[in-house]
Amino acid sequence: MFGIVKNKYLVGTLCGGLQEFEGRWEWDGPFEIIEATSKSKAEKIYNKKNNCNYFYGAVMATIIGGVPFDINKYASRQEINEILMELK
């Protein structure tokens, strides 16, 4: 039979949105590729694993065959590709 399909997601900590950041959003590590059945489950796994309690993990992109798709509006393709190279 068919198993549960898990996708790979690049997840990082999304920081910002506070007054002192002047509405800017930035990514911080740790950056991880998480396998999960959905974006929200990938974020939950990341947050639990990294004990997030102020800033939280957010999916930067879905990774298919090593290529980023469905890129988060606060991330750039260049930034994601650089992170993926570091994770190899």
Mean pLDDT per segment of 10 residues, for the chain of length 88 residues?
83 79 80 97 97 92 94 94 94
- List the structure tokens of 2: 């068919």
CB 13 within 8 A of CB 29: yes
The model carries a pTM of 0.88
User: Domain extents for the chain?
Assistant: 7-87
Q: What is the spatial distance between Cα 21 and Cα 84, in angstroms, rounded to a whole number?
A: 26
Element (H, E) at 45: helix 39-49
